[in-house]
């Protein structure tokens, strides 16, 4: 299936790991130029590795026809000035970004059930990174898409933003805000041909998911602790009808599809890649 993405200019935030990295690889495989933003300095080495592994687009006959541009940049989306500077540099080099995938997010790193386990200050960083980071990126990238009268934005939410997950209330609340602001953006940008959607993962083995287990362990007597694998499997058995993990690649596949011409009539939607998790609720 031709997704119509070949040669497109794509920006992936949180691109050094997890869903962001999986999405970047799939976009490159589709023939896209990709820039990775991440606050992790490893993003530079990761982009270099991707250039070595995947840096060429091929014809149906396997002939190399062009080298793709694949770059990493150290960008903290919580820093408005840094985001603006990086976006300006990118626009000058590339022109407008055609496809944005925003994956950058953090949890509170505290187990939040009940919510009184947390202090108000535990809310500050998740809300600033996850909500204001999204705002910073949207403000920096949207004008170029508006001028070009085309583009897509995909924001990675979470099923936690729909069901009020009690394990990390700040994270849950921030992801509810992600869904809501995505809908606002979709309405505002539709007249300019720009589509905006949210993709919500369920149970994915990422560092953020493991951090929830680590935070839970801190609240449990050592004799009652179980391994991450046991803890996660018990959750999957309890709430995921398909009874299996979702992978970063599962989520990336949906993101790439929604970014493509095949989803030309899809905007303002919240798509769950969760094995039926939210249906269960």
Q: Is the distance from CB of 221 to CB of 228 less than 8 angstroms? A: no
* Residue ranges of the chain whose pLDDT lies below 50: 57-65
Q: Residue 62: what pLDDT?
A: 43
Q: Residue 112: what pLDDT?
A: 60
Q: Residue 220: what pLDDT?
A: 73
Question: Catalytic residue at 277?
Answer: no
Give the helix/strand (H/E) hosting 84: helix 80-94
Domain of 137? 9-203+248-275
- Residue 79 belongs to a domain: yes
Q: Residue 176: what pLDDT?
A: 97
Q: Residue 233: what pLDDT?
A: 86
- Residue 4 belongs to a domain: no
Q: Residue 65: what pLDDT?
A: 41
Residue 18: closest CA among 43, 54, 53, 45: 43
Token couple for 253: 């596949």
Q: Residue 200: what pLDDT?
A: 97
Q: Residue 208: what pLDDT?
A: 72
- Residue 129 belongs to a domain: yes
pTM summary value: 0.89
Which pLDDT tens digit goes with each residue over 103-139? 999 987 776 667 777 899 999 999 999 999 999 999 9
Q: Residue 281: what pLDDT?
A: 62
Residue with tokens 């953090």: 106
- Residue 165 belongs to a domain: yes
Q: Residue 66: what pLDDT?
A: 53
Domain total of the chain: 1
- Residue 230 belongs to a domain: no
- Residue 234 belongs to a domain: no
- Assign residue 43 the CATH number of its domain: 3.40.50.720
Query: Exactly one of 171, 192, 228, 277 is catalytic; which is it?
Result: 171
- Residue 233 belongs to a domain: no
- Residue 83 belongs to a domain: yes
Token couple for 174: 């921030």
Token couple for 202: 């369920």
């Amino acid at each position: 299936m031709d997704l119509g993405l070949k040669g497109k200019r794509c920006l992936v935030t949180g691109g050094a790991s997890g869903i962001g990295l999986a999405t970047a690889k799939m976009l490159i495989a589709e023939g896209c130029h990709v820039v990775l933003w991440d606050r992790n300095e490893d993003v530079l080495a990761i982009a270099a590795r991707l250039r070595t592994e995947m840096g060429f687009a091929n014809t149906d006959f396997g002939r190399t026809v062009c080298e793709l541009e694949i770059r990493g940049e150290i960008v903290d989306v919580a820093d408005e000035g840094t985001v603006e500077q990086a976006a300006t540099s990118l626009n000058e080099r590339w022109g407008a970004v055609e496809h944005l995938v925003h994956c950058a997010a953090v949890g509170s790193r505290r187990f939040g059930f009940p919510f009184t386990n947390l202090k108000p200050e535990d809310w500050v960083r998740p809300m600033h990174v996850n909500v204001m980071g999204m705002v910073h990126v949207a403000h920096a990238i949207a004008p170029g898409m508006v001028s070009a009268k085309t583009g897509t934005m995909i924001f990675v939410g979470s099923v936690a933003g729909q069901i009020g997950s009690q394990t990390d209330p700040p994270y849950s609340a921030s992801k509810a805000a992600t869904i809501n602001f995505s809908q606002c953006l979709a309405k505002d940008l539709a007249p300019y041909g720009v589509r905006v959607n949210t993709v919500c993962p369920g149970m994915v083995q990422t560092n953020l998911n493991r951090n929830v287990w680590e935070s839970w362990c801190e609240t449990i007597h050592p004799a009652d602790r179980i391994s991450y694998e046991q803890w996660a499997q018990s959750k999957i058995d309890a709430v995921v009808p398909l009874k299996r993990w979702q992978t970063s690649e599962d989520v990336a596949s949906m993101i790439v599809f929604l970014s493509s011409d095949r989803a030309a009539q899809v905007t303002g939607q919240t798509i769950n890649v969760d094995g039926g998790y939210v249906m269960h609720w």
